[in-house]
Structure 1
Amino acid sequence: MGTYTEKPDGLGSQSDDRVDVEQVDRVAVPPTTLQSFAHLDEKAILRKMDMRLIPMLALLYLLSFLDRGNIGNAKIEGLQEDLKLTDDQYNWCLTAFFFTYAAFEVPSNLMLKKVRPSIWLPAIMVAWGVVMTLMGIVQNYTGLLTARIFLGVTEAGLFPGVAYYLTNWYKREEIQLRQAMFFSAASVAGAFSGLLAFAIGKMDGVAGLEGWRWIFILEGKSFSSRELAMGLGWCIVTVIVACIAFFALFDFPETAGFLNEDERAFVMYRLKYQGQSQDPNRAQVAQADEFKWKYVKDAFLDWQIWVNIFVYWGVVCPLYGISLFLPTIIRQLGYKSSQAQLMTVPIYITAAILAVIVAYCSDKVGKRSPFIVGCLLTMVIGFSMCIATDPREHPKVVYGGVFVAACAIYPAFPGVIAWLSNNLSGSLKRSVGMALQIGVGNLGGAMASNFYRARDGPRYVLGHGLELGFIGGGLIACAVLLMGYTAQNRKRARKIDEGALDLYSPEELSEKGDRALTYRYVY
């Protein structure tokens, strides 16, 4: 093995450890240093990866988030009244989704490592499309609750799976932009859902079905036929997209057909030998990739994951509060249902654009926490505008408040995901750790689904207040992470200066992953 070449900013990618160095050497002409790849255009390779990966992943997540959040649109089109749901029953239908959604995320990511992503992701996509279509024909509370529970099961694997999947392709200083481009599909889904719900709501009475049912059936990708929806629940668009995804998704860099041999070797090499500060005269290998329960246990016992979950809650509780209740909050300002649907659109479009801009800046400077903290503070401003204003007297101020809050929530979310993934080394540990973060973190959605009670409208002091409380907790958790990372980095640098690195072989350092003396946490 050759020497390590580190970027001036000290940031690299978390090591990808699915193949060892000898395997990389067999892919192409034996690469010993980055100079071996001097003839390749790194930016051209990145553009090629972006074009082949991001659009399909964004489409999958757009469909997922559209199906997950459109119950808020269906509510103001008459779902609650037609199914004779009490306010508590409606909130339980929202809450139940997150229990199964959280429970199945870690198992799903473990399955992703056993089954090819190009098989696993399309398969769960077909499953949730079927569940979504069936939600359009439920007749009572029990049916809707059951459908929401199974929707959580089928959708659980997508977001943590894709979030982890991207770390197998991109370096640490590149990942947030790609996470943001993927996640911005959620913002676009919110805007598209409002537009679609506005149009579909006009279908009330078509084929003897209420307008809100068509929101589920059509967004669940069924044919516009009552018999087909009720008989087969055949999700034609979902099946088509899933089939395309089966052929369009590429599993991992070493098998990517759109890269030549040198490019595949280069992508794997740049992932393996970045992200650690070490003696340039000493070779370093990544954490071994064979399945060991030790690595799973390491993820569950890693302090940074559990602290990061509080940061995640500080973002995801407002995220779900907005996505599930935004149409209702806007309608309570005195607007008609159709107007409320349309008024959600500019909020989501602006949030999507800002998410990409913030991610680009974060990757450019190689920092995560300043942007996350900045977004959290902006969220405080937005929700403070809402909680301090009587919507009956100043509805535009409240609308402005949710606008400001949403435009900070969506840029913050990919930052939180990227921050943790940047600081987990070892493919298996990173897979489990990210699923744990997103799984437990999404219990915040179960809490947020009960924040905005109908009896608290139109001001929703309790809901806005709870959002502010979770944001405050996220800010405190950010401070704890920063202090912990700073202390660990300084401690490791001091030990290396004292010669402690000579006590470890490369294999022993590899076994430690992000706990190795050579590893440096990203702020």
Structure 2
Amino acid sequence: MGVASEHNNIDLIGGSSRPSDDDGPAPPLNVDEAALIRKIDIRVMPMLFAIYFVAFLDRVNISNALTMSMPDDLNLYGDRENVALLIFYIPYIIFEIPSNIVMKKLKPHIWLSGCIIAFGIVMLGQAFVKSYSGLIATRFFLGLAECGIFPGSFYLISFWYKRAEAQKRFTMYWSSVIFAGAFGGLLASAIAKMDGMRGLENWRWIFLLEGIASILVGIAALFFCADFPQQASWLSEDEKAAVIAKTRNYEEDDIPVTKSDLFECSKDIKMYLGAFMYFCIVIPIYAFSYFAPTIIKAMGYGTIQTQLHSVPPFAAAIGLCILTAYLSDRWGIRYPFILLGDLLIIIGLALMLTMHGTEHFSAEYLGVCFITMGAFSSGAIIVCWVLMNMHGHKERSIGSGFVIGIGNAGGIVAVFCFTKDDAPLYKHGYWILMGVTLAGIVITALYGLVVARERRRQLRAEDKANSEKVLSL
């Protein structure tokens, strides 16, 4: 009873519905685990970080461009800005599961590099659009090109690390998003001074330069992006066996995903709770990724000062993500850190709703920082928690695409949180974020309870099997 109770507490706050990774087979004796982890970290993480850094930078750089002359140049009146942000998510959501299946067939280094090169080419096209319809077309193809990068990368990472190692690596990858938000503001403040250079408006230079960077990263990824452990030519056979043993991923990588696999996954309640848990955190993430410059500009800043003041909230978010990742892996828990992030969002929203005017600037700006810190830190832990409760190529290819696809539908809500007719106080948007954050707290609690219930059932089954084994002896 004492052992079961201990397991239940662990699972309720962030464990798995399956046995711990530490229960798995020991790695081969002639493999140095610490050296192997360092080798994997060097070969797997930096390239994935670079890929998503430029992808997310290119996705949200429109938020910086909208504070320049882009709305006037492209006649973006009314809700046209919001619709331009929305159109990205239609192909991005629809094709995430198919993209994971294709990546498994083609190998990650081919698929991910192709996605980011295509993304960069479309971004170059966006630099030269002349109308609203041209912007809509490029945003659609950007969503199509990027649909495979985020879920595909998380899918890939989950095969390289066991649960006790995963949060730090997921957070490292997730931090590329936050670095992109911070760096985007710095870069935009410099590019803002390029207005008129070679006959191009400054906002066009944002898309042009970042599109070129994406293509270069894509070419590098073709040579340096890692594949799945079974396909890694840079590992010895013993090292491959060690990775597969500790992560408990014994499926052959050439087993196809079938309709029955989709049906089996569709019956798992954890899949739906995980998707809606992620959905609720994605809304504040994207709302502030897209509109932080707009919100800060409404405080009375000019273009360059707006870009510079959009950097500190993301810098603070990076610090909190690193701290929570370290503590989460060290203590083996997830749930309390998700709640910590939700609490920061609620405090930040309360400040934004009640503090206005120059005399309350510091409090209002602190609210922006709290919301950004809470949203990004919770998001990293949610994705890790959900994906590490999935096992094997089939479940993770379907599950990661489903959870991240449904979750990213929150981006559709996010792009309409802050509209021109609600400026400059944006109370409507803040109340939307407050509502989804509170809903996220409830869904997170339900997910934890379901995981704990499954773990209790599994422990009872294991105890019964052990008792029968003893009796048979």
Q: Would the TM-score normalized by the shorter structure come out above 0.5?
A: yes
CA contact (8 A) 2:17 2:455 kept: no
Aligned residue in 1 for 2:238: 262
Aligned residue in 1 for 2:300: 334
Structure 2 counterpart of 1:254, one-letter code: Q
Aligned residue in 2 for 1:185: 176
Q: Does 1:166 align with 2:157?
A: yes
Return the offset for 1:350.
Answer: 2.0
Alpha-carbon distance between aligned partners in 2 of 1:487 and 1:287, rounded to the nearest angstrom: 30
Match of 1:365 among 297, 317, 331: 331
Aligned residue in 2 for 1:475: 441
After the TM superposition, which residues 434-473 of structure 1 pair with which residues of structure 2 at under 5 Å, given as runs? 434-473=400-439
Three-state SS of the structure 2 residue aligned to 1:70 is helix
Aligned residue in 2 for 1:242: 218
Alpha-carbon distance between aligned partners in 2 of 1:50 and 1:348, rounded to the nearest angstrom: 24
Q: Does 1:132 align with 2:123?
A: yes
Match of 1:290 among 235, 238, 255: 255
Unaligned runs of 5+ in 2: 1-6
Alpha-carbon distance between aligned partners in 2 of 1:297 and 1:257, rounded to the nearest angstrom: 34
Match of 1:384 among 341, 350, 359: 350
CA contact (8 A) 2:192 2:303 kept: no
Alpha-carbon distance between aligned partners in 1 of 2:447 and 2:467, rounded to the nearest angstrom: 25
* Greater alpha carbon shift after TM alignment, 206-215 vs 391-400: 391-400
Report the CA distance shift for 1:286/1:14 in structure 2 as closer, same or farther (over 3 A): farther
Return the offset for 1:149.
Answer: 0.9
Return the offset for 1:189.
Answer: 0.7
Three-state SS of the structure 1 residue aligned to 2:425 is coil
Alpha-carbon distance between aligned partners in 1 of 2:194 and 2:429, rounded to the nearest angstrom: 32
Match of 1:429 among 383, 392, 395: 395
CA contact (8 A) 2:251 2:393 kept: no
Three-state SS of the structure 1 residue aligned to 2:391 is coil
TM-score normalized by the length of structure 2: 0.91
Q: Does 1:271 align with 2:247?
A: yes
Q: Does 1:411 align with 2:377?
A: yes
Return the offset for 1:238.
Answer: 3.1
Q: Does 1:40 align with 2:16?
A: no
Alpha-carbon distance between aligned partners in 2 of 1:98 and 1:320, rounded to the nearest angstrom: 11
CA contact (8 A) 2:17 2:454 kept: no
Structure 2 counterpart of 1:261, one-letter code: E
Alpha-carbon distance between aligned partners in 2 of 1:200 and 1:123, rounded to the nearest angstrom: 28
1:51-90 Cα shifts (integer Å, max 9, x gaps): 1111111000000000000101000011111111113111
1:348-392 Cα shifts (integer Å, max 9, x gaps): 122122212211211111211111111111111111111121245
Alpha-carbon distance between aligned partners in 1 of 2:379 and 2:334, rounded to the nearest angstrom: 11
CA contact (8 A) 1:378 1:408 kept: yes
Match of 1:319 among 285, 303, 315: 285
Aligned residue in 1 for 2:274: 308
TM-score normalized by the length of structure 1: 0.82
Alpha-carbon distance between aligned partners in 2 of 1:473 and 1:272, rounded to the nearest angstrom: 34
Alpha-carbon distance between aligned partners in 2 of 1:460 and 1:393, rounded to the nearest angstrom: 18
Q: Does 1:494 align with 2:456?
A: no
Alpha-carbon distance between aligned partners in 2 of 1:121 and 1:458, rounded to the nearest angstrom: 40
Return the offset for 1:396.
Answer: 1.8
Alpha-carbon distance between aligned partners in 2 of 1:500 and 1:484, rounded to the nearest angstrom: 24
Three-state SS of the structure 1 residue aligned to 2:79 is helix
Alpha-carbon distance between aligned partners in 2 of 1:401 and 1:346, rounded to the nearest angstrom: 12
CA contact (8 A) 1:14 1:271 kept: no
Return the offset for 1:40.
Answer: 2.6
Return the offset for 1:499.
Answer: 4.0
Structure 1 counterpart of 2:101, one-letter code: L
Report the CA distance shift for 1:13/1:355 in structure 2 as closer, same or farther (over 3 A): farther
Report the CA distance shift for 1:244/1:80 in structure 2 as closer, same or farther (over 3 A): same
1:23-48 Cα shifts (integer Å, max 9, x gaps): xxxxxxxxx952x6234321121111
Three-state SS of the structure 2 residue aligned to 1:125 is helix
Structure 2 counterpart of 1:203, one-letter code: M
Greater share of helix: 2
CA contact (8 A) 1:321 1:449 kept: yes
Structure 2 counterpart of 1:252, one-letter code: F
Aligned residue in 2 for 1:89: 80
Tell me how large the CA RMSD over aligned residues is: 2.3
Structure 1 counterpart of 2:275, one-letter code: I
Report the CA distance shift for 1:133/1:286 in structure 2 as closer, same or farther (over 3 A): closer
Report the CA distance shift for 1:242/1:289 in structure 2 as closer, same or farther (over 3 A): closer
Unaligned runs of 5+ in 1: 1-6, 16-31, 222-236, 274-284, 504-523
Report the CA distance shift for 1:317/1:250 in structure 2 as closer, same or farther (over 3 A): same
Structure 2 counterpart of 1:97, one-letter code: F
Alpha-carbon distance between aligned partners in 2 of 1:171 and 1:201, rounded to the nearest angstrom: 44
1:446-504 Cα shifts (integer Å, max 9, x gaps): 1100000112122110111101111011000011112212222222322333449979x
CA contact (8 A) 1:13 1:173 kept: no
Three-state SS of the structure 2 residue aligned to 1:258 is coil
